[in-house]
Amino acid sequence: MSNESAQAQARMRAWIRTSVVFLFVAVALFGVFAAQKLSATDAVATTQATVQAATPVSAGTGWALIGSGLAIGISIIGAGIAVGNVGAAAMGAIGENPKLFGTAIVFVGLAEGLAIFGFIMSFLILNKA
C-alpha cells in the first residue's frame, strides 16, 4: 500500500467519522425540537388543567408524531446502511486509485442526504401537528 493510498484511506475514515457525528447531532437536534414542542403542549395543558380537565391529544396529532418519528428513524437507518456500503466501496476504490477521493466523497455525501431529507420532513410534520 502506497503512502498516498494510506493518506486517502485516513481522510476517508475521518470523513465517515464526521458524517456519523453529524447524524448523531441531527438526531439530537430533532429530539430537542420534539421535546420543546411537547413541553409547550404540556405547559398549556397544565395551566388549563387548573381551570378544567386537560383535553386529550387528538388522533391527528398522534398520527403526526408517529409519522414524524418514522420519517427520521427510517431515513437515518437507510442513510447509515447507504453510508456503510458506499464508504466501504469508496475505501476500496481509493486504495486502488487515490485520485478517486473527490468522487468518493461526493457519493458518501449523497448517501448522507437521505438523513437530512428525513430530518427536514419530520420537522415539517411536527410543525403541522
Q: What's the pLDDT tens digit per position in 76-109?
A: 888 888 888 998 898 889 889 989 888 888 988 8
Distance (Å) of CA 84 to CA 27, 30, 52, 56, 92: 18, 22, 53, 42, 12
Domains of the chain plus CATH, in order, are 3-128 (1.20.20.10)
pTM of the full structure? 0.54
> How many CB atoms neighbour CB 26 within 10 A?
20
In this prediction, residues 58-82 reach a mean pLDDT of 84
CA distance linking residue 118 with residue 60, whole number of Å: 20
Q: What's the pLDDT tens digit per position in 9-26?
A: 788 888 877 777 777 777
